[in-house]
Amino acid sequence: MKAMIMAGGETHTFSHVSSRPTAPMICRRTHKAHPFSVFYGANPLDYSFTLVLLEIVCVILLSRLVRFLLKPLKQPRVVSDLIGGIIIGPSVLGRNKKFAAYMFPDNSLYVLENVGLIGFMYFLFVCGVKMDLSLIKKAGKKHMFIALVGVTVPTLIVIAVALILRSQMDKDLALFSSIGAVSASMGIIAFPSLYPTLQELNLLSSEIGQMALSICLIGDAIGVNAIVAFEAAKQGEGEAMDALWYLISLVLLVTFIVTGARRVFLWIIRKTPEGKPVDQGYVVAILLGVCVMAFLTDMLGIAILNGPMWLGLVIPDGPPLGVTLVEKSETIIMDLLLPFSFAFLGLFTDVSVMFAAGWSSLAPLFFMAVVGFTSRLLGTLLPCVFFDIPIRDSLALSFILSMRGHVELVMYLHWMDKLIIKQPQFTMLVLFMIMVTGIATPMVRILYDPTKPYMVTKRRTIQHTPQDAELGVVLCIHNKESVAGFINLLEVSNPSSSRPFSIFALHLIELVGRAAPLFFDHEHKKMPAKYAAYDAIHKALTLYQQSRSDFVKLRSFTAVTPKLSMYQDICKLALENKAALIILPFHKERWEEFGGMELVRAGAVRSVNFSVLNHAPCSVAILVDKSGFRKPFPTLASNHSLHFAVVFLGGADAREALVYADRMAENKNVCLTAVRFLAHRPEKYNEMEKKLDDGLVTWFYVRNEKNNRVSYREVVVTSGNETMAAIKAMDVVDSFDLWIVGRKKGIAPVLLEGIGDWSDNQELGVIGDFLASADFGSSASVLVVQQQNMRGS
pLDDT digits (tens, 9 = 90+) for 523-554: 777 777 677 667 788 888 888 888 887 888 88
Phi, psi dihedral angles at 760 (to 5 degrees): -85, -30
Instruction: Give pLDDT, residue 765.
Output: 86
Q: Please state, in angstroms and rounded to a whole number, the distance separating the CA atoms of residues 166 and 20.
A: 35
pLDDT digits (tens, 9 = 90+) for 769-785: 888 887 777 788 899 99
Residue 8 has pLDDT above 60, yes or no: no
Q: Please state, in angstroms and rounded to a whole number, the distance separating the CA atoms of residues 617 and 609.
A: 14
Instruction: Give pLDDT, residue 635.
Output: 47
Instruction: Give pLDDT, residue 365.
Output: 92
Q: Please state, in angstroms and rounded to a whole number, the distance separating the CA atoms of residues 593 and 370.
A: 67
pLDDT digits (tens, 9 = 90+) for 423-434: 999 999 999 999
The candidate with the shortest Cα–Cα distance to 734, out of 724, 742, 726, is: 726
DSSP string, 554-584: EEEEEEEE-GGGHHHHHHHHHHHTT-SEEEE
Pairing of strands 10-16, 25-31: antiparallel
Single-letter amino acid, residue 131:
M
Percent of the chain with pLDDT over 70: 87
Residue 518 has pLDDT above 60, yes or no: yes
Name residues whose C-beta falls within 8 Å of residue 308's C-beta, 6 or more positions apart in sequence: 121, 122, 124, 125, 128, 290, 293, 294
Q: What is the DSSP letter of 93?
A: G
Instruction: Give pLDDT, residue 438.
Output: 92
Cα angle 320-323-329, degrees, rounded to a multiple of 5? 130
Residue 513 has pLDDT above 90, yes or no: no
Q: How high does pLDDT run on average in the chain?
A: 83
Cα angle 773-654-660, degrees, rounded to a multiple of 5? 95
Residue 755 has pLDDT above 80, yes or no: no
pLDDT digits (tens, 9 = 90+) for 96-119: 888 888 787 776 777 788 888 999
Mean pLDDT to the nearest integer, 241-268: 86
- More confident position, 339 or 636: 339
Mean pLDDT to the nearest integer, 586-605: 57
Phi, psi dihedral angles at 583 (to 5 degrees): -110, 125
Q: Is 176 exposed, middle or buried (0-12, 13-18, 19+ CB in 10 A)?
A: middle
Q: Could you tell me the maximum CA-CA distance found in the chain, to the nearest angstrom?
A: 111
Least confident of 75-89, 255-269, 729-743: 729-743
Residue 632 banded pLDDT, cuts 50, 70, 90: low
pLDDT digits (tens, 9 = 90+) for 561-577: 888 889 999 999 999 99
Residue 684 has pLDDT above 70, yes or no: no
- More confident position, 629 or 265: 265
Residue 157 banded pLDDT, cuts 50, 70, 90: very high
Q: Is 287 exposed, middle or buried (0-12, 13-18, 19+ CB in 10 A)?
A: middle
Per the CB < 8 A criterion, the answer to whether 123 and 195 are in contact is: no
Per the CB < 8 A criterion, the answer to whether 723 and 766 are in contact is: no
Q: Please state, in angstroms and rounded to a whole number, the distance separating the CA atoms of residues 387 and 141.
A: 10
Pairing of strands 619-624, 781-786: antiparallel
Per the CB < 8 A criterion, the answer to whether 348 and 414 are in contact is: no
Q: Please state, in angstroms and rounded to a whole number, the distance separating the CA atoms of residues 165 and 787.
A: 64
Q: Please state, in angstroms and rounded to a whole number, the distance separating the CA atoms of residues 229 and 590.
A: 62
Least confident of 93-97, 295-299, 589-593: 589-593
Angle between helices 406-417 and 338-348 (to 10 degrees): 50
- More confident position, 632 or 167: 167
Per the CB < 8 A criterion, the answer to whether 230 and 180 are in contact is: yes
Residue 667 burial (CB count, 10 A): 19
Phi, psi dihedral angles at 597 (to 5 degrees): -60, 140
Q: What is the DSSP letter of 774?
A: G
Per the CB < 8 A criterion, the answer to whether 476 and 604 are in contact is: no
Residue 591 has pLDDT above 70, yes or no: no
Q: Please state, in angstroms and rounded to a whole number, the distance separating the CA atoms of residues 304 and 120.
A: 10
Instruction: Give pLDDT, residue 21.
Output: 42
Global confidence as pTM: 0.83
Per the CB < 8 A criterion, the answer to whether 139 and 214 are in contact is: yes
Straight-line distance from the first to the last Cα atom of the chain, in angstroms, rounded to the nearest whole number: 77
Query: Residue 422, CB half-sphere, CA atoms under 13 Å: how many?
Result: 12
Instruction: Give pLDDT, residue 510.
Output: 87
Mean pLDDT to the nearest integer, 394-411: 91
Highest mean pLDDT among 85-99, 293-307, 361-375, 517-531 belongs to: 361-375
